[in-house]
Structure 1
């Protein structure tokens, strides 16, 4: 058999069901082998989208997603997706082609050293030079991609190696589960003693707490210890968080969508101990540690990355779920001050989520978040692109299911929202899936509407229109620069949807968003809903209101003691 057949056999051995790809001539042996396999080849319209989809597969399943591109320009188009997975800890395997390495009949045409290019953006980057090594190389790639800390691995398969003949008795390598060790008993005892001494403890859930393997275990920990919690942006959904009116998740204090000064920081600033579960410093800091700040216990699969803003005083390193269960065994019922910060919860959430039903047109960010929450069921998945609206969703969108709000607070790249939502819809065809994209981010990969329609997905895309790169324009204003260089024009998104064979709608009133979304979901297929936004709330709330809050606190000595 050909080496490409063996390569595909090794992929099947890993449980790969789909490969997202824009193939080239250097992949043709591999494409032919895939044609005769059980693996579905999903053609995308840009390699970047293929990488985003593969990364999101890894994020949602814990198993590496797979994408493929040709050499040179195709491989380079995977680079942003590799960085997205690398910073976001999403397991993924990237496969690229290359010219023949035994001969050089085309000299250096299209040749770029992709192995070297990918090294700083992946956990490993390797060229396959011997067909007989394929089973072990593939097994190692998937193992490295999935083990903590997860991330991307790159394999380059040159076309002459792919076409090699190999013996039929070359076998794939068996896959077996790998159990992580539980944290050392001394570390758990140390953390328990610190918790029992704490007067105002607080739990924080970070990016690594959203691993699929932890589902349910962290909610059980919160229930047992009774300590209120907040989350980082990428830790959102780890434990269900509801608004005060919903009567849900009575321990949730909010989301640290900003580094400081927000309402949730009233609790953070009062805490004398923070149990930071799964914090990954690739995220913008949810708070800044300083000499007068709280004690911090880091609980993670990996030791803490010590940074200027994060230097924990104790660490519990090991398999997070079982380690927390053992910690709960030691402190359950023995924390007299567990709920000391809970009286602040109602006030924090009420102010964070205020003016959510205001009838203003164009719509406010709060109204958009509120109306999206109204039409999404508990298990509905919202995939955010990157823009100013992401801050509002992070602050104001109550989550009820793990990994039901997909946002990127690591690389924070534009263009990932639509492909990520498409992957979620492929994995969960019976759940409502909504992509939320700014007009800037949507147009970066809008060509994937054709892919979504070809795949017969049920998917709604909410396009938030401000005719600008809104987050940078807002920052430009905050920094008192002239409003210049950030605005653009847009197509008619209803006609744009029609051109692809999708259905388009435009929201014309403040009360029109929720019905438009509901109609789009009910109708099915690929739907676009365009809504204009009033971003004046960015300055009113995130600058003026929060600045006044800080000033008011500063005028009341002793309030944080």
Structure 2
């Protein structure tokens, strides 16, 4: 069998060239530059799997659950800016994609979901395993369609990949029925070549209007959000343009959780990260500002501040317009490719902002308050001390991937980042269970960096089976499991509202034995002094290593009123 460039892989039957619908589909995926497909095989995708087996360009990576597959694919998209692909069978497999589809939709990750379906030309199994998958996926994706003929395959696949990157990136869904995949054809179906599409450039009128408003501000403040991080990956030149804008204007900046790393946080103009919506350390500056310039703010992220009619004015700079929200309604907008927009805006502002540093006197106090718990020597370890130890240990370009839990607030607030997506977290769907697969993906495509997953014991157990996948992929990965035997974030919220603990406690396996059962390594940390040596040994040993660490979220202090609740 030979494989012709940009054509469907043929087979021969009695001298005739024969192709299947699944061959056309795989050729269309190759045409889009797909390298990996993550997923679980199924009866309704057998022909598609056979066509993938014959592909010399695409590697199929089996996972242990569809959520593991979709989280891995979504983070491939996040880290590379390229559309990623995951595969499931019909019904039960497809439905397991739902959480990950919401994760990709809110976080702006370009993702193509593919699932099989029973045949559509006849129904020999009646309604067995059949659900209306397209209708299910429509609210969770930007585009959802069933492929009903081979002629539809090239244009539908091309449209899916176009839509996944259009505007704010997000997931799309394609359903390939088993009879369409298995059908044989004698003619070659032409593919459609992708083409480059550039973002629009902000208008001079909008830039002039924004520059005039910034020039008159007494206490301006910059904020970098999720869209800034996406821009830094999809167009790497944006990273330098954002940092240069900060330096050329001299305006202090803070970030949202999802904006961390868009501009290096070792800058003398960095003033903090908003871990909460209000009442956090950085809000000392936010509340004093008379103008906030938000760069790449995405309102699917938990609000980094709450706009009020009599509060600071807001200028929205992004490649997509701002929706009008109860808590976010900017008075001016600069819409276009973020990097060039900031460069053009800096040209109008450089040297013309006598009040650029109006909020800088607050910086030292804000950052010193963030470090208050860094030397806490109590045991079990506190989140603030944990972040301090991990930051000392990880290099600037290394990657920490967080699951979701109370510790995420401490990392967002105190873990300084110097490059985009070196702290991987989710502040949009904020789902549990994504931390381990996201770290696996980071380790898979960045083998030269140290990668650590930080997971609560609740979130880790939701996708812990993917440890086997990590072992099979031979990645080097340290998984730090924070053990308190409860859903700690919910416990802290119950405490903050004066409620009694209820429904939050659970038992755990022996994590060291669990690691060993999967063929990985395991360590239990029993004193604070053992933490850094345990992490060092885990990284030096290579492979997959689970480190179990007891943690104290200080819920008792919340109940006594001595600590601030983890939300505002």
Name the TM-score class by shorter chain. Answer: over 0.9
Task: Identify the residue that residue 277 of structure 1 maps to in structure 2.
Answer: 295
Deviation for aligned residue 1:134: 0.8
**1:49 and 1:353, CA in 2 relative to 1: closer, same or farther beyond 3 A?**
same
Task: Identify the residue that residue 554 of structure 1 maps to in structure 2.
Answer: none
Query: 2:107 aligned with 1:83, yes or no?
Result: no
Distance 2:559 2:268 in 1: 25
Query: 2:271 aligned with 1:253, yes or no?
Result: yes
How many residues are treated as equivalent by the alignment? 542
Work out whether residues 85 and 111 of structure 2, in 8 Å CA contact, stay in contact via their aligned partners in 1: yes
Distance 2:402 2:471 in 1: 20
Distance 1:542 1:426 in 2: 45
Distance 1:99 1:528 in 2: 41
Q: TM-score, normalised by structure 2?
A: 0.94
Work out whether residues 359 and 511 of structure 1, in 8 Å CA contact, stay in contact via their aligned partners in 2: no
Task: Identify the residue that residue 111 of structure 1 maps to in structure 2.
Answer: 130
**1:351 and 1:26, CA in 2 relative to 1: closer, same or farther beyond 3 A?**
same
Query: 2:509 aligned with 1:480, yes or no?
Result: no
Query: 2:425 aligned with 1:407, yes or no?
Result: yes
1:284-329 CA-to-partner distances (Å, cap 9, x unmatched) read 1111111221010001111001100000000001111111111011
* 1:54-69 equivalent positions in 2, closer than 5 A: 54-69=73-88
Task: Identify the residue that residue 67 of structure 2 maps to in structure 1.
Answer: 48
Deviation for aligned residue 1:220: 1.8
Task: Identify the residue that residue 70 of structure 1 maps to in structure 2.
Answer: 89
* 1:118-137 equivalent positions in 2, closer than 5 A: 118-137=137-156
> Which residue among 514, 525, 531 is the counterpart of 2:549?
531
Deviation for aligned residue 1:98: 0.1
Work out whether residues 355 and 366 of structure 1, in 8 Å CA contact, stay in contact via their aligned partners in 2: yes
**1:491 and 1:22, CA in 2 relative to 1: closer, same or farther beyond 3 A?**
same
Deviation for aligned residue 1:216: 2.6
> Which residue among 452, 475, 483 is the counterpart of 2:470?
452
Task: Identify the residue that residue 257 of structure 2 maps to in structure 1.
Answer: 233
Structure 2 stretches lacking a partner, 5+ long? 1-18
Distance 1:315 1:392 in 2: 32
Structure 1 window deviating more from structure 2 (262-271 vs 528-537): it is: 528-537
Work out whether residues 512 and 546 of structure 2, in 8 Å CA contact, stay in contact via their aligned partners in 1: yes
Match of 1:514, SS state, is helix
Deviation for aligned residue 1:237: 1.0
Distance 2:390 2:402 in 1: 12
* 1:5-44 equivalent positions in 2, closer than 5 A: 5-37=23-55, 38-44=57-63
* 1:282-297 equivalent positions in 2, closer than 5 A: 282-297=300-315
* 1:91-490 equivalent positions in 2, closer than 5 A: 91-211=110-230, 212=233, 213=235, 214-241=238-265, 248-490=266-508
Work out whether residues 47 and 78 of structure 1, in 8 Å CA contact, stay in contact via their aligned partners in 2: yes
Distance 1:143 1:491 in 2: 45
Deviation for aligned residue 1:163: 1.1
Deviation for aligned residue 1:166: 3.5
Match of 1:275, SS state, is strand
Deviation for aligned residue 1:218: 1.1
Work out whether residues 262 and 546 of structure 1, in 8 Å CA contact, stay in contact via their aligned partners in 2: no
Task: Identify the residue that residue 244 of structure 1 maps to in structure 2.
Answer: none
Work out whether residues 44 and 448 of structure 1, in 8 Å CA contact, stay in contact via their aligned partners in 2: yes
Distance 1:470 1:546 in 2: 15
1:380-438 CA-to-partner distances (Å, cap 9, x unmatched) read 11110000001111111111111111100011100000000111111111111111100
Match of 2:122, SS state, is coil
Structure 1 stretches lacking a partner, 5+ long? 242-247, 551-561
Work out whether residues 66 and 88 of structure 2, in 8 Å CA contact, stay in contact via their aligned partners in 1: yes
1:328-378 CA-to-partner distances (Å, cap 9, x unmatched) read 111011111111111111110110121212211100111111111111111
Distance 1:146 1:115 in 2: 20
Deviation for aligned residue 1:543: 6.5
1:96-134 CA-to-partner distances (Å, cap 9, x unmatched) read 000000000000000000100000000010000011121
Structure 1 window deviating more from structure 2 (356-365 vs 295-304): it is: 356-365
**1:453 and 1:146, CA in 2 relative to 1: closer, same or farther beyond 3 A?**
same
Q: TM-score, normalised by structure 1?
A: 0.95
Distance 1:33 1:538 in 2: 58
Task: Identify the residue that residue 245 of structure 1 maps to in structure 2.
Answer: none
Distance 1:251 1:165 in 2: 63
Structure 1 window deviating more from structure 2 (110-119 vs 508-517): it is: 508-517
